[in-house]
Chains A and B, each alone.
Chain A
Amino acid sequence: MINTDADALSRNLAQEREQLRRSATPLLNTQCQHHYSSHQIIWQNEGVCLRAFIPERPRHKRPLVLCYALVNRPWILDLAPGSSLIEALVTQGFSVYLIDWGQPERCQRFRGLEHYVDQIMHACIQAAASHADNPRVNLAGICQGGVFSLCYASIHPELVNRLVTLVTPVDFHAADFTLSQLYRGVDIQQLVSAYGNIPGPLVTQVFSGLQPMRLGQLKHLTTAPRLVEKPDSVAQYMLMERWLNDCPDLAGRALQQFVELFFQHNRLLDGKFDSGNFKVDMSRLAAPVLNIYGKHDHLVPPNASRALEQICKRGHYQSLEIGAGHIGTLMGNKALKSVPAAIQDWLQETDQSEP
């Protein structure tokens, strides 16, 4: 038998009802459109654009290009004033350039990794270098964008001065890399053939399905009390919800190549690999790397990320562990205190030694 305190439970339920009722009005009355902080678009083509965030008084000569993943939107890096990695980097005097991959149309379903990395990313990096009037860039890749950045820095070592990877998977067969284990066996060719581009809402479900009870149930049950206790947090909460559910479709061919190369065959650790016209030789990676990962990241576990050391030249690898999860490492309070400062210190080493 289980002892129950019926009166206390009834009071709890009444309280929950009241909190839910009280949370409705602020939720429905809060505007939560996202607006990037001050910037200009300096390059755009077929739905992709390069956003330039230039400080009033730049303190670093070299442009810092941020390459986000194709999954989800890059505006998480500039969520709101005070919760923005980009804002923090600009405050430190960096000229920041953000690659915004946009939303692929159905007719772009055959865009492969060679199109994304060799063509679009290359055009963005050339545009940033030209805008900043500097022949080489510092590159920072986030999650899948980190994989793209590693590939790009190997294809064009002459253009990348230093590389920062954030929450980037490298060993896709790491024992605790659940996402990889779960999707490795899916018939990706059939999936892509059936959908064309993989719908964003399906991708969102993939991520929330890894912690279904916590993200699908507990979160929604605890939202009302949280918002009632902290009414000031409603706007940011809604913005975060908007971001979580704002995943663009994924170009079919690029996703298929990514899953086959990395999820299924773990080729990043092999050194040399190709898929169609996409050819990468990781031994050409010359840029020193700062690898930042989340200690509690359940999407890209630390082991999957730390493996990057294996493909960097000796003495060219440094790492920083943040006590946060996947998103927290990009824009959580702890991260915003330490990540921009770490990036600045690390990049400054070479910037100061330049003529």
Chain B
Amino acid sequence: MSEYFRNALQQWLDQLEQQSSDGASWLQQWQSTLDRIPEHSEPQAVDLLQQMTRLNQRFENLAQSLLEQSNDGQLSRQQLLDSYRQHLDGLCHDWINSSCFLPDQLALLSPFLSRSPDPAKQSSDIESFLQRIQQLSSLPRTLLQHSQNLLSSLILFQQAQHAHQQQLSHINHASLNELADHLESEGVNDIQSLHTLWVDIFEARFNNALRQPDFIASFNQLVDAGSRVRADWQALTDHLCTRFGLVSLAEYDELSLKHQTLQDRVWQLEQQMLAMQSIIQGSDRDKH
């Protein structure tokens, strides 16, 4: 980590310490400070702090909202469920979106696509969109085809993402009801034990879901749809490279395959030579 950054952060922490004790928005301030960290800083400590801060902030938001709704030491079951569900939707959204399924360039576009797309409608929309683009710019047919493939696979990915998020929501829903049952009998007096109880309940249900065919199928569809987007993106990029006279990744891979095949063949021949040498040496020994 750069000395500059460490000093800046230390100064900022010192200032925080001197500030008044209410600290209502200090987590947000901290989060935004961490977000501005230069990229060349050593990433590990910063990443960890960012994650800790982000989760603490999310959790604090949840706890504050529970406290605000708590009336004379009483909180309605529905209020608890609503607050927690909001909190969990944020988490599930983070999980799916933080995955490396999509190329960075496409991940940026992802939020602009519909969350629950209608496949038939979107396909016809893509078709007409691409037709208009072609009319305006006379794009080559092959490029258009690659673009169409990519957009279609992006829609499939959105559908898979939506379906998997629904699976996660089912788990959240069932877990929350179980949590609420516990809390109705035991109350909430301690944040840590509330949280541990929640995690234990959720993980038990999640672990059970991991073995259910529906969950496995939706997860497999999400992974497959993600890799399909990646493959179509690469095909489009390769096509553009070829049109511009550049070496494409596909061509590089083709050469790598030839290299690996040759390398393996050389190794096989070396093994055969070693075996023959050992036979010859053996027969020489027998003669003597």
Interface on A for B, CB 8 Å cutoff?
1-6, 8-10, 12-13, 16-17, 20-21, 23-25, 27-30, 32, 106-112, 114-115, 118-119, 178, 181-182, 185-187, 190-191, 193-196, 199, 201-202, 205, 209-214, 216-218, 220-224, 238, 241-242, 245, 277
User: How far apart sit A109 and B114, CA to CA, in the bound complex (Å)?
Assistant: 35
| Inter-chain contact A2/B55, CB cutoff 8 Å | no
In the complex, which residues of chain B have a beta carbon less than 8 angstroms from the beta carbon of A29?
6
* Docked pose: A186 CA to B101 CA in angstroms: 13
Q: Which residue of A lies closest to B1 (CB)?
A: A28
Partner-contacting stretch, out of B142-150, B227-235, B240-248: B227-235
Q: Which of A9, A30, A109, A190 has the most CB of B within 10 A?
A: A9
**Contact flag A12-B45 (CB < 8 Å), given A114-B264, A205-B100, A223-B52:** no
Chain A to chain B contacts (Cβ below 8 Å), 13 pairs: A4-B189, A13-B63, A17-B26, A21-B13, A21-B17, A24-B49, A108-B260, A181-B210, A187-B223, A187-B224, A199-B100, A217-B199, A220-B56
Range of interface residues on B (Cβ < 8 Å)? 35 or more
Which residues from A are CB-within-8-Å of B187? 2-5
Query: Complex formed: what's the CA distance from A216 to B76 in Å?
Result: 28
Contacts of A27 in B (CB 8 A): 45, 48-49
Inter-chain contacts of A202 with B (CB < 8 A): 99-100
B residues within 8 A CB of A213? Answer: 91, 198-199, 202-203, 206
The total of Cβ contacts below 8 Å across the A-B interface reads 205
- Compute how far the CA of A107 lies from the CA of B251 in the bound complex, rounded to whole angstroms: 11
Q: Which residues of B are in contact with A by a Cβ distance under 8 Å?
A: 1, 6, 9-10, 13, 16-17, 23, 26-27, 44-49, 51-53, 55-56, 59-60, 63-64, 66-67, 70, 73-77, 80, 91, 95, 98-100, 180, 183-184, 187-192, 195-196, 198-199, 202-203, 206-207, 210-211, 216-217, 219-220, 223-224, 227-228, 230-231, 234, 249, 252-253, 255-257, 259-261, 263-264, 267-268
Tell me the dominant secondary structure on chain A's binding face. helix
When C-beta atoms are compared, the residue in chain B nearest to A246 turns out to be B44
Given A1-B74, A5-B73: A242 touches B44 (CB 8 Å cut-off): yes
> Is the CB–CB distance between A186 and B224 below 8 Å?
yes
How far apart sit A211 and B204, CA to CA, in the bound complex (Å)?
10
In the bound complex, what is the Cα–Cα distance between A269 and B141 (angstroms)? Answer: 51
Per DSSP, chain B at the interface is: helix
Query: Contact at A217–B91, with CB atoms within 8 Å?
Result: yes
Contact in complex: B223, A191 (CB < 8 Å): yes
**Which residue on A lies nearest to B59, using beta carbons?**
A221
| Docked-complex contact B191 and A16, CB < 8 angstroms | yes
**Do A110 and B256 form a contact, CB below 8 Å, given A187-B227, A224-B52?**
yes
- Find out whether the CB atom of B75 lies under 8 angstroms from the CB atom of A2: yes
With A178-B207, A185-B216, A213-B199 known to touch, is A8 a contact of B190 (CB < 8 Å)? Answer: yes
In the complex the two chains form, is A209's CB within 8 Å of B95's CB? yes
A190 to chain B: which residues have CB within 8 Å? 224, 227-228, 231
CB distance from A238 to the nearest CB of B (A): 7
Complex contacts, B180 vs chain A, CB 8 Å: 2
Q: How far is the CB of B91 from chain A (nearest CB, A)?
A: 7
Given A3-B74, A30-B45, A218-B195, are A181 and B52 neighbors across the interface (CB < 8 Å)?
no
Give A109 to B13 CA distance when docked, in angstroms: 46
Contacts of A106 in B (CB 8 A): 252-253, 256
| Extra A-B contacts (10), CB below 8 Å, given A2-B184, A12-B191 | A1-B75, A3-B75, A8-B189, A119-B267, A194-B231, A212-B206, A213-B91, A217-B91, A223-B48, A238-B45
A120 to B220, CA, bound (A): 33
Contacts of B216 in A (CB 8 A): 181-182, 185
**B residues near A185, Cβ cutoff 8 Å:** 216-217, 220
For residue B220, which residues in chain A have a CB less than 8 angstroms away from its CB? 185-187
